[in-house]
Structure 1
Amino acid sequence: MGKGNFTEEFKRDAVRQITERGYPVAEVSQRLWVSQHSLYEWKKKFGTSNGKASDEVRRLKKELARVTEERDILKKSGRVLRQRCKVKYAFIALHRLRFSVRTMCRLLHVHPIVFYAWLKNQLSKRASEDKRQTDLLLQAWEESGKVYGYRKLHDDLLDHGETSCPNRVARLTRIAGIKAQIGYKRRPGIYGGRPSIVIDNTLDRQFDVAAPDKAWVTDITYIRTNEGFAYLAVVIDLYSRRVIGWSMQSRQTTDVVL
């Protein structure tokens, strides 16, 4: 069959087999007994309108996908549109594997650069500083045997060169669950009753003394340490308030005060 004997309908059908049905040019050429050069010429002549139609279909599909994505984003973010930026950032981070980040940022009126900066460092500058100082407070509290309250912990921060007010330290310790040790728990047992030995009240609460070494007083107390309780007995002169002597032991025995 000569080149001029092919009808226009035949040529268009051959081109449709290549462009619409997806057959290779070589296969169509062998099946229709047409040279590949002729098929390429026919495709160039009659396939232009089909190419434009395919481009239009692709454009419409892309537009449909964009509109569908925007619709789904708006349906899910209905309660987030009027919230703070941090709430919007959290929504975008939660759905970024499903939707486009730029599309969500555009619909929620936030900038993508700011979102990625928030994603990299979600804590604000003040929150980061609070966390750092809380770690320092916990360390100082542990070193004190979990005894210090926020006032002494505030003094420790100042000694380490930190800048913080007492109210802020009180807030951080309250959030971290840091509490001062107030008093000591009494061991279970029976308390009260009369002492076995009664000593005369010689001083009779006369604490004003006219000369030194006229009256000495003593007392014993216990101090909680990391290694247990330490018992301290001190003797002072009432006139000068000078410490005459002291003794400390790990047990509350008679040797402490003698």
Structure 2
Amino acid sequence: MKVAYIDQHKNLFDVQPICDVHAETDTPIAPSTYYTAHTRPPSAHSRRDEHLTEEIHRIHTDNYGVYGARTVHAALVRDGKETARCTVERLMPRAGLRGVIRAKSPRTTKPAPETDQPADLVERQLTATAPNQLWVADITYIKTFSGWVYTAFLWNL
């Protein structure tokens, strides 16, 4: 993280002055440490993470981008690539991957006894002797690709 910071600002201030400022903080870094970080070969852990990330990306893409960490982990194990599920959970967000989240149905009723229930003003007598004497309404919800849509119906009996 410090190396990335120095990379970002070394064109403005050079490496030595940035390291001098960091020496006065809780996170000092020597210029030799910065240069060694650039010449050091990647660790076995980071190489394995790169390889696993490619495999995770392949599995995720092959399955239309719907697999989450648990399913990707199961697919890796089926393919003979033993790895911990927590590793898959760590690498997927770094690669910008996530599974599809199942949406919950909207909660339309509140079963608590203190909620008011509308009074039945017509006492289930749904016949009218003249126009505009009885109006009845209802509401429902429909799931669409963009979310839940609520629809209200109104009848003039």
TM-score by length of 1: 0.30
Which one has a larger percent helix, Structure 1 or Structure 2? 1
Higher alpha-carbon Rg: 1
TM-score (norm. length: structure 2): 0.47
Larger RCO, structures 1/2 (Cα 8 Å, 6+ apart): 2
